[in-house]
Amino acid sequence: MADVTLVDIEKTFRGKTTVIPNLNLCIEDGSFTVLVGPSGCGKSTLLRMIAGLETVTRGAISIGGRDVTTAEPSERNIAMVFQSYALYPHMTVARNIDFGMRLAKVPVEERKAKVAEAARLLNLEELLERKPAELSGGQRQRVAIGRAIVRNPGVFLFDEPLSNLDAALRNRMRVELAELHQRLDATMVYVTHDQVEAMTLADCIVVMNAGQIEQVGTPMNLYQRPETLFVAGFIGSPK
């Protein structure tokens, strides 16, 4: 079970800028939940609070029924994939994928098996000995996802992972992410400002605006029955 529950979450930076006044959300176990909304509406902040990279000013977060409001990122059963892949430039693909497991002192045989499995899943088998500089943007993004996969998290957090890729590659990676979700049986929380991405990937879309949730629903639901003009405008006018 890896549902994510946010209760009465407030986020105020430096005691004065309230970015999220009061937010309640339940992200279902095993869902592909997409957070959408315009730039600056608080999507990354929300994801970073779930990850434990940002504290909450008020409220509680639980993952899989366990209160993690003040838990370290490593204690949250999550892995996060960023828009800027944050790979180590001096390490090979294999070492990059392996790095977190090494730190966590996972036995070497298990590490090898996991790197091999991630490489197979993500089509990186031929690239394991290359350095990040020798990879395309899409390949780098796969390595970043590989690094998350080997940690076996119950929840994957993605912050605009495809926004640095060109349109063709973005389409391909979208399909791959959907397949990955099917295979991994994990909860995915995916931030984007791209309506097309949201409509094609999500079982559940959360529309945010200025730190508040406008509406939660399936893509079909939001498309057919938007509850506010904002949702209608946002979902109804794909780029």
Binding residues for Mg ion, rule: CB under 5 A, are: 44
Nearer to Mg ion, 33 or 44 (CB): 44
Nearer to ligand ADP, 19 or 97 (CB): 19
The number of residues making up the chain comes to 239
Minimum distance from CB of 37 to ligand ADP (Å)? Answer: 6
Which burial class, exposed, middle or buried, applies to 104 when counting CB atoms under 10 A from its CB (0-12, 13-18, 19+)? exposed
CA–CA gap between residue 10 and residue 45 (Å, rounded): 11
- For residue 97, how many C-alpha atoms fall within 13 Å in the half-sphere facing its CB? 33
Give yes or no for residue 83 binding ligand ADP (CB under 6 A).
no
- Out of 6, 33, 36, 42, the residue judged to bind ligand ADP by CB under 6 A: 42
Q: Stretches 34-42, 88-96, 110-118, 130-138: which one binds ligand ADP (CB under 6 A)?
A: 34-42
Q: Stretches 32-40, 66-74, 75-83, 146-154: which one binds ligand ADP (CB under 6 A)?
A: 32-40
Minimum distance from CB of 59 to ligand ADP (Å)? Answer: 16
Give yes or no for residue 13 binding ligand ADP (CB under 6 A).
yes
Whether 186 contacts 153, CB under 8 Å: yes
Minimum distance from CB of 204 to ligand ADP (Å)? Answer: 18
182 binds, among ligand ADP, Mg ion, none (CB under 5 to 8 A by kind): none
236 binds, among Mg ion, ligand ADP, none (CB under 5 to 8 A by kind): none
CA–CA gap between residue 56 and residue 112 (Å, rounded): 37
Phi (first) and psi of residue 25, to 5 degrees = -160, 140
Minimum distance from CB of 41 to ligand ADP (Å)? Answer: 4
Give yes or no for residue 19 binding ligand ADP (CB under 6 A).
yes
41 binds, among ligand ADP, Mg ion, none (CB under 5 to 8 A by kind): ligand ADP
Question: Please, what's the b/e burial string for 116-154 (b: 16 or more CB within 10 A of its CB; e: otherwise)?
Answer: eebbebbebeebbeebbeebeebbbbbbbbbbbbbbebb
> β-pairing, 4-13 with 17-27?
antiparallel
Give yes or no for residue 65 binding ligand ADP (CB under 6 A).
no
Whether 89 contacts 131, CB under 8 Å: yes
Query: Using CB under 6 A as the criterion, which residues of the chain lie in contact with ligand ADP when the complex forms?
Result: 13, 17, 19, 37, 39-45
